[in-house]
Structure 1
Amino acid sequence: MSASVSSSLTGNVKPCFNSCKKTLLTEVETQLTTTDKKRLIHRLVYAAMTTQNSEVAITEYYRIYLSTLWKNTQADAVTGILLLYPNCIIHLIESSSEVLHMILKDLVDMESTDFPLKEVRILVLSHCVLRTFPSWCHHSVKVSLSLQDSTLLQQPVETLVTESLATIYKLCASLKDKKSKLGPEAQQQAFPLQDAVTTLCQSPVLCSPCKYLQTYTQPTNILMDSETVWPTQRRLYW
């Protein structure tokens, strides 16, 4: 992806997703004063590899799972979009932190089963955001997404994640506008490249759900500056 395209993507998504002009306290106060929100909303985006002809199974599973999750826990509704590629997926989910934690645990349980989701990688977990989608939906990406510029795969993983997220957020902004229609050429640029998604799923740099939960649920022992004795002890005799 060229620099001009990347900058244009970033410019287009700023009105909907750029919250740098607001402080976190301002965003939290805005959400707490909104009457139709029970908890703060967070956004999880992850990618995963799939097996062939598994689109129906994955879509039906999440349709039933998210509906059952909401009925049994009375938690906040789950909104977002599931992008289904021929051999991988990108899933964007918006809900409370409790619901996202249960979804991550469900992804961990899938690793020991024959469910068609494999090599799951967490792309980003954003906190205190505004909902983008009114409900949960899915979309099958049927356009040709073969990577023409092989130099993109040689870029760092951080660059691939940033450009993929920028493309997803631009897609969300386009779908949010009901009047906008994506033609064949627009769809070609609206969805992240399949080869880039495959590279992210195979990257050891990104966290799997199991590693992510272990990192953020286990206590961390930090040595404070006040616990360090200075000067260090020395032997006064030989």
Structure 2
Amino acid sequence: MTASGKNTRLSFFWQDSEEEKDDRVTMFDVVNGQMKENIVIQQLIVIARLPRSLAEKTRLGDYYEELVYKSKVLCSYEAITGLLLIYPTCLLHVIEGSRETLNSVLKDMAQQPKSVLLEAKIVFMGHDLQSRLFKDWDYKVLKANQVASKAAVEGDEEENTETLVCSVLSALQQLKKHLATGAFPEEVLDENPELIISQNILEKLMSRDDFMSPQQHLEIYNLPLNISVEIGKVDPRSLFPDI
């Protein structure tokens, strides 16, 4: 399923930077104002708990597929990539794009009724990525037997929050290696179920209080900068004390 055209909180950041750019600009692009912009790519990883009453999870995937498609139409110069994994009890959404795209997804999640999402937490936000994990945006609905066996093997060890987040990032990097062949995430995960991030790990992350909700993040992001008007002012009398 693709969408290719049809305050002390714990946080983790990628510091390496590289902008996506295409220097091949034609005269047609210049005349019509369609020259591609340089987009600083950011990555968002958010998890959310699903209500038991949400029976048809495919409709949730279709909803976000349409949301991503609309974002692509509005920003035709920007590639939006990622992966939405819908588990029996929760979801994991990885999305890569501009800051505006990430904020639009967070805003949508913050406005979702409890009949769709019970709660959501931002696990990771990476800035100025060197490369994307995904070539497009996809979603996959996971069956109970695809997530149960791995959770049983893990046991009930009480890992710290940073270890849990790192395990999610590591699993996504492993998935990226398998996608390098050009395969789609859905078929890769079906053939390699060990690459599926455990629902048990996501449940543990959901129980932690170290993360911000989409609403909390947006409130902080939209706060105005408090710049003192006194900064830069110099009293002339201090320069000429004898006057």
Residue of structure 2 equivalent to 1:13: none
Instruction: Provide the residue aligned with 1:9 in structure 2.
Output: none
Q: 1:56 to 1:39 in 2, by over 3 A?
A: same
Q: Which residue of 1 aligns with 2:41?
A: 41
Q: Could you tell me how far 1:177 is from its partner in structure 2?
A: 2.2
Higher helix share: 1
Shift >4 Å, 4+ stretches: 32-37, 179-185, 219-223
Distance between the aligned counterparts of 1:101 and 1:37, measured in 2? 19
Q: Residue type of the partner of 1:141?
A: L
8 Å Cα contact 2:81-2:137 kept in structure 1: yes
User: Given the alignment of the two structures, is residue 134 of structure 1 paired with residue 135 of structure 2, yes or no?
Assistant: yes
Please give the alpha-carbon distance, in whole angstroms, between the structure 2 residues aligned to 1:32 and 1:73: 15
Residue of structure 2 equivalent to 1:204: 209
| Of 140, 143, 161, the match for 2:165 | 161
1:213 aligns with 2:218: yes
Gaps of 5+ in 1: 1-18, 227-238
Contact kept, 8 Å, 1:75 with 1:99, in 2: the verdict is no
What residue is the counterpart of 1:186 in the other structure? 192
Give 2:107's aligned residue: 105
Identity over aligned pairs, percent: 24
Return the TM-score normalized by structure 1: 0.70
- Aligned length, in residue pairs: 196
| TM-score normalised by the chain length of structure 2 | 0.69
> Residue 178 of structure 2: which of 159, 171, 174 is its match?
174
Q: Structure 1 residues 182 and 93 mapped into 2: Cα distance closer, same or farther (>3 Å)?
A: closer
Equivalent residue number for residue 155 of structure 2? 150
The alignment yields a C-alpha RMSD, in angstroms, of 3.0
1:133 is paired with a residue whose SS is coil
Cα-to-partner distance string for 1:2-41 (whole Å, 9 max, x where unaligned): xxxxxxxxxxxxxxxxx88xx53xx24xx34665764111
How big is the shift at 1:172?
2.5
- Give structure 2 stretches of 5+ with no counterpart: 1-13, 25-35, 232-243
Q: What is the deviation of 1:220?
A: 6.5
CA distance in structure 2 between the partners assigned to 1:34 and 1:91 by the alignment: 31
